[in-house]
Amino acid sequence: MQSILKTAIENSKKITKNGKVATYIPELAKGDRDALGACIFDISGNIILEGDYQTKFTIQSVSKVVILICALIDNGKDVVFSKVGKEPSADPFNSLVKLEMKETHKPSNPFINAGAIVCTSLVEGDNGIEKFSKIHNMMKKLANNNDIEVNYSVYNSEKLTGNTNRAIAYYLKGAGIIEKDVEDVLDAYFKCCSVEVVVEDIARMASVIANNGVAPWSNDRIIPEYINKIVKAIMMTCGLYDRSGEFCIEVGVPAKSGVGGCIMAVVPNRMGIAVVGPALDKYGNSIAGTKVLEELSKELNLSIF
Ligand code: GLU
């Protein structure tokens, strides 16, 4: 498997130049366009690292998976899905358009920004600090790493420039979908996006989901099984922005990408995979990371279909 991953990375590295590093905040624009690294963590606890696996990156939208897990644990599925939908949206991740058009004003799903901000508002905690701390603790547990922390330069940039997210959150508050203090909710959301990790952290998180919610390294249940199923389903249908359908065909496993260049992929009952490559395609997914996963899927027969 090591040599298959090595070859996939070598082949995919050639296309990093066709992508662009996210520039919506200056801190992300500093990302190394040509970096490409990956980690596979299987449910027996074996680990494979390849390429630029030491590259640090902010988790960005991959945090939406952990936010959803926490919202579901704290509220159950009926409450969560009374405030956020379960359907893919063909709109960009930060779009406001559908919120006003729908009678319910519910965001389409938990993986567009509006949906993730609603899920953050549902996580227990009297203020942004408490909400973030719950989500942060869950990230640490899922990664089996107590040292993962917020990158404060990225967080400050997110907070300073997050006007579209602010507009989304205030709209949802006006519509009665967010009940908590908007600035508290946004503060927790911006911190979640700014948590700095390496691919091993994300591959371990994915391995727990692949192992039906149980940590492969300790056999402890971290995610209730029914919640784990929901999370995999939403990853499958909504995880890769507007490219989720094509990803289903070409890779065929539940996954979630983020603009920091990471893609977390869950191969049910087999392994968690994380790739990082900051050069993004026009949809906001790692261009070379997607190719690595396509190659791995073919070579290792990963598709669940
Ligand atoms: N911090 C980004 C935002 O909320 C995350 C976007 C992403 O990774 O899709 O705008």
Helix H or strand E segment including 130:
helix 128-143
pLDDT at 30: 87
DSSP classification of residue 221: B
* Site of tokens 């606890």: 45
152: nearest Cα among 160, 143, 141, 142: 160
The yes-or-no answer on residue 276 being catalytic is no
The number of beta carbons lying within 10 Å of the beta carbon of residue 123 is 27
**Which residues, including other chains, have CB under 8 Å from residue 44's CB and lie 6 or more apart?**
216
Please state, in angstroms and rounded to a whole number, the distance separating the CA atoms of residues 214 and 223. Answer: 7
The whole-number pLDDT of residue 39 equals 98
Name residues whose C-beta falls within 8 Å of residue 103's C-beta, 6 or more positions apart in sequence.
Answer: none
Q: How far apart are alpha carbons 243 and 70 in whole angstroms?
A: 26
Query: Is there an atom of ligand 1 within 6 Å of 239 CB?
Result: no
Task: Count CA atoms within 13 Å of residue 248 on its CB side.
Answer: 15
- Residue 27's closest CA among 192, 189, 151? 151
Cα angle for residues 122, 168, 103 (degrees, 5° grid): 85
Instruction: Confirm or reject: Cβ of 165 under 6 Å from ligand 1.
Output: yes
pLDDT at 31: 87
Provide the strand spans (E) within 99-236: 149-150, 195-197
Give the pLDDT of residue 94. 74
- Helix (H) / strand (E) containing 155: helix 152-161
pLDDT less than 70: residues of the chain: 90, 92
Q: Best mutation site among 59, 60, 197 for ligand 1, i.e. most ligand atoms within 8 A of its Cβ?
A: 60
What is the rounded distance in angstroms from the CA atom of residue 14 to the CA atom of residue 59?
Answer: 24
What's the rounded Cα separation, in Å, for the pair 13 and 194? 25
Does the CB atom of residue 113 touch ligand 1 within 6 A? yes
Q: How far is the CA of 94 from the centre of ligand 1 (A)?
A: 8
Coil, helix or strand at residue 272: strand
Q: What is the CA radius of gyration of the chain?
A: 18
Query: What's the confidence (pLDDT) of residue 89?
Result: 81
Residue 33 pairs in a beta bridge with: none
CA distance 288 to 36: 7
Q: How are the residues of the chain apportioned to helix, strand and coil, as percentages rounded to the nearest 5?
A: 50, 15, 35
Residue from 57, 93, 119 whose mutation best tests the ligand 1 pocket (most atoms within 8 A of CB): 93
- To which residue do tokens 């279909």 refer? 305
Q: Is residue 273 within 8 Å of 293, Cβ to Cβ?
A: yes
Could you tell me the distance, in angstroms and rounded to a whole number, from the CA of residue 4 to the centre of ligand 1? Answer: 31
75 residue type, one letter:
N
Q: What is the model's pLDDT at position 74? A: 98
The vertex-258 CA angle with 253 and 264, nearest 5°, equals 35
Please give the order of strands across the beta sheet that includes 271-276. Answer: 47-51, 37-42, 271-276, 262-267, 255-257
Residue for token digits 């190659």? 295
Size (the chain), residues: 305
Task: State phi, psi for 142 to the nearest 5 degrees.
Answer: -70, -30
- What is residue 259's predicted lDDT score, i.e. its pLDDT? 95
The predicted pLDDT at position 95 comes to 75
